[in-house]
Amino acid sequence: MGEFVVTMFLVLAVVAVTAVVFGGWLVVGVLRVAWRSAAALFGFASPQRDPMLPHICSRPTCRGPNPSYARFCRRCGSPLDSPTRQVRRAAAW
């Protein structure tokens, strides 16, 4: 009988913790939407950033879009042409 009580207590504790975490997540989500709506209504919304242009695979049979930081094509796996990196050099005295 004691094992049953302990098991039920643990189950109820896990359910309670889950409910608290879900409730917090829900409240934060609602507040975030309300804040963004109010900011957009009063003109305080942050300007929309342009999305990063995708890096297109150079293989004619693929031409798959990839994120700009990708080193390999997501579709075919071939290495992508790396953009010229700017090297910052500092004088060492």
pLDDT in tens, 18-34: 999 999 999 999 999 99
The mean pLDDT value for 2-17 works out to 96
Distance CA 93, CA 87 (A): 19
**pLDDT for residue 56 is more than 60:** yes
Q: Which residue has the higher pLDDT, 88 or 47?
A: 88
For the chain, the domains span: 1-47, 49-92
Q: Which of 52, 93, 53, 56 is nearest to 74 (CA)?
A: 56
Q: Which of 17, 64, 37, 39 is nearest to 72 (CA)?
A: 64
Model confidence, pTM: 0.45
Q: Which of 27, 87, 79 is nearest to 58 (CA)?
A: 79
